Chain A
Amino acid sequence: AQKVTQAQTEISVVEKEDVTLDCVYETRDTTYYLFWYKQPPSGELVFLIRRNSFDEQNEISGRYSWNFQKSTSSFNFTITASQVVDSAVYFCARVGNMLTFGGGTRLMVKP
């Protein structure tokens, strides 16, 4: 199976710190898609970003940014100036014929 690995199971930071969530994936496909989802305490998975394998440009959305490095099969997610509301479990995922998720990283942002 082509895995998605999120090595950090849990990260704790203090508000206003920057934090990077790592994601490494395996793939034999030349074309594929990568995703990040957020699971807040309410439980639902909230879509954050989708990136296709042809687009290696980094993306920034407010305090969120994503670094896609095809050479290292990584798709890392950085939150700048973290806030308590960022506390959640974050999942990285890739698509082959179905979404394959990583194990998730629980982020705790303390005031």
Chain B
Amino acid sequence: EAGVTQFPSHSVIEKGQTVTLRCDPISGHDNLYWYRRVMGKEIKFLLHFVKESKQDESGMPNNRFLAERTGGTYSTLKVQPAELEDSGVYFCASSQLWSQGREKLFFGSGTQLSVL
């Protein structure tokens, strides 16, 4: 069974450009999460989808970040325009059930974003 896949694995862009990250969750997992780790600090929650609906987007840092999950399958996270402080590793995770976050999450390998 395929795990959570993220694309690209690395992205290097200049400040002001746009980048779109993609996450394909495990098939059948309704819950999809985005997290990020900036500057080697804690991994922080960005948002949570249940199917195509945003269940919780309280972690999104500002309106330069836009997440979508059309059709409830894969998700994209767009950063426009990118700033230097957006550099970090962006993780996607999925789970089949949702019990207030108590479930085991399956994570992807992350996208390393470098904004120069």
Contacts and interface: CB of A to CB of B under 8 A. Distances in A.
Contact of A47 (B44, B104, B108): B104
Given A42-B109, A91-B43, A101-B42, A50 B91 contact: no
B42 A103 contact: yes
A100 B58 CA distance: 13
B105 interface: yes
A105 to B, nearest CB: 12
Contact of A44 (B42, B101, B110): B110
Contact of B101 (A52, A95, A101, A103): A95
B48 A98 contact: yes
B56 A37 contact: no
Interface of B: 3-4, 9, 33, 35, 40-45, 48, 56, 58-59, 89, 91, 93, 100-102, 104-110
A97 B99 CA distance: 9
Contacts of A97: 56, 100-101
Interface in A80-111: 91, 93, 95-104
A95 to B, nearest CB: 4
Contacts of A45: 43, 91, 93, 105, 107
Contact of A33 (B40, B48, B102, B110): B102
B56 A98 contact: yes
Nearest to A96: B101
Contacts of A4: 42
B100 A95 contact: yes
A43 interface: yes
B101 A37 contact: no
B105 A47 contact: yes
